[in-house]
Structure 1
Amino acid sequence: MTATQIDGRAIAARMMFETLTEAKALADAGWQPRLVSISVGDVAAAELYVRNQQKQAEAAGVEFEARNYPSEISLEQLTGVLAGLNADPRVNGIIIQRPLPAHIPVKTLQKAVHPLKDVEGMHPSSIGNIVYNDLALGPCTAVAAVEILKSLPLKVEGLDVCVIGHSEIVGKPIAFLMMGLGATVTVCHHMTRQVSVHSRRADAVFVAVGKPGLVTGEMLKPGAALIDIGINRVEGKTVGDADFASCAEVAGWITPVPGGVGPVTVAILMKNAVLATRMQMEHYRSAFAIAV
């Protein structure tokens, strides 16, 4: 068996077209979607992400402003900046770029972003809503991975799913999202005794650990879908958490790295930006409506 490679770029392109249409409609109504990116210090990795996000934002009809602050900025000053952005109706979404200096905990900043402007889906309330199957602005990577699986000719209801990795922003949200869709989910982590026992019986496997080659073909059920979310650098190449060659011989569908989950994640970010704009428009209209 040779797995079908899932074209994440094609999926992302379809999403971006829909997002552009929605963004134009909001702009015509006087609500031009606008993102503000916050980075701290001189970090080359963050600059690469910012440039890519700006390019994709322009393609999606979303205005984009990149703000960089010196590494010496205090946590109090930065939370003050976020408070100002939260209160500015011209700003519809806030992105916190990582890495951050050691004295600025990323979770504190994520909590400081207003939930209606949390386009990354990192605020505790955004992640908590998933438990209640109330997905609005969900964590981009987790939502992207689930959207990819939904694009396959598989019946999600009753599907046996194995999630390898239980991080707060990827693994756990994927598990709750899939349960909300009716799947039966097993979550594996660093204390799971025999990961392969669980992965081998699954119809779909998500892996997001950060260990190249962790998942091999012998760990998969023949014909299963493998959604590889890992991003690792090995000998100058970007690879996922799966050994692509051996997994492609067993799986029915597989995401390449790069070109799989990554493009869809950015498309979800832009979709969130436009959705956040619409939610804010409706909030302001409701809050300041003139009673007749």
Structure 2
Amino acid sequence: MTARPLPGTDCAAGIRARVADRAGRIGTDGRRPVLAVVTATDDAAAAWYVRSIASAAETAGVDCRVVDLGAQASPGEIGACLQDLSADRDVRGIVLQTPLPAGAEPAVLAGAIVPDKDVDGANPLSLGYLAAGRRAFAPATAEAVVTLLDQHDVDVAGCHVVVVGRSTVVGKPLAQLLLDRDATVSLCHSGTRDLAAIASSADIVVAAVGHAHLITAEHVGPGATVVDVGTNPTDDGGLAGDVDPAVVGKAAALTPVPGGVGPVTTALLLQHTVFGPGG
């Protein structure tokens, strides 16, 4: 068995095309919709991600305003910047890029982003609305997983899905999105006992732990679908996923890294910016 690839590039291109059409119709006085990305880190993976957002925005007719506060920025400076952007009528979406400087708490600072502009679902209010079934932005990476599965006709209803990783960026909100689609979800993490036994029982395995090649063939049952959310920088400047390449010989389907969840995530940030929550 060789796993069927589940690329995200075509899906992302379709989203960007819809965004470009919408952006061209809502612009006023020739001005394009603005997505602001606030960064306060020198992390290489974060820099790569921000560049990918800016590149995707350019192709979709969205202005990406990168606000680099520097790795030494204080929580007060970051919070004030987010408040200013929230009050800026030209800005339709705001992303607070992580990691943040020592002493800065992402959940506290993300609370400074008004929910209507919280296009990456980082404000605790947005996460609460999502859990309660109210209209809100879902974290783009979590939404990208279900969007990519839809694109490739992988129906999660009735399936056992094991999500490895419990972050508020992917794991927790993804579990909610999957439950809303009638999946049965096991949310696993670093403290899970006998992870391989649990994961290998799943119809679908989602790896979102930020640890290169942590998920091996022993974690995957024959014929399972595997979604790799990992984007771990390699020494040669590339990216490695959370899933070991050997899984390709056991799984029925596998998302690539790069070119899988990543491009769909950036496209969804643009969609959220232009269409609003639920758009």
Q: TM-score, normalised by structure 2?
A: 0.90
**Counterpart in 1 of 2:242?**
241
- Shift of residue 25, structure 1, vs aligned partner: 2.3
**Counterpart in 2 of 1:86?**
86
1:227 alignment partner, SS class: strand
- Shift of residue 29, structure 1, vs aligned partner: 9.8
2:27 alignment partner, SS class: helix
**Counterpart in 1 of 2:172?**
172
2:108 alignment partner, SS class: helix
**Contact (CA 8 Å) 1:39, 1:68: kept in 2 or not?**
yes
Work out the CA distance in 2 between the residues paired with 1:44 and 1:3.
30
Deviations 1:114-168 (A, max 9, x none): 1111111111111122212335311011111121122233332211111111112
Larger radius of gyration: 1
Work out the CA distance in 2 between the residues paired with 1:27 and 1:99.
32
Q: 1:269 to 1:196 in 2, by over 3 A?
A: same
Structure 2 gaps, min length 5: none
Q: Which residues in structure 2 correspond to 1:1-292 (within 5 Å)?
A: 1-27=1-27, 32-40=32-40, 46-71=46-71, 73-134=73-134, 136-236=136-236, 237-244=238-245, 246-276=246-276
1:67 counterpart letter in structure 2: V
Work out the CA distance in 2 between the residues paired with 1:29 and 1:223.
53
Which stretch shows the higher mean deviation, 78-87 or 166-175?
A: 78-87
1:33 counterpart letter in structure 2: P
Which stretch shows the higher mean deviation, 235-244 or 255-264?
A: 235-244
**Contact (CA 8 Å) 2:136, 2:278: kept in 1 or not?**
no
Work out the CA distance in 2 between the residues paired with 1:155 and 1:277.
23
Work out the CA distance in 2 between the residues paired with 1:45 and 1:277.
27
**Contact (CA 8 Å) 1:133, 1:177: kept in 2 or not?**
no
Deviations 1:101-122 (A, max 9, x none): 2243332221111111111111
Structure 1 gaps, min length 5: 280-292
Deviations 1:4-35 (A, max 9, x none): 11111111111111111222222269984211
Q: 1:149 to 1:91 in 2, by over 3 A?
A: same
Deviations 1:236-289 (A, max 9, x none): 342111112x2111111101111111111111111111123999xxxxxxxxxx
**Contact (CA 8 Å) 2:85, 2:91: kept in 1 or not?**
yes
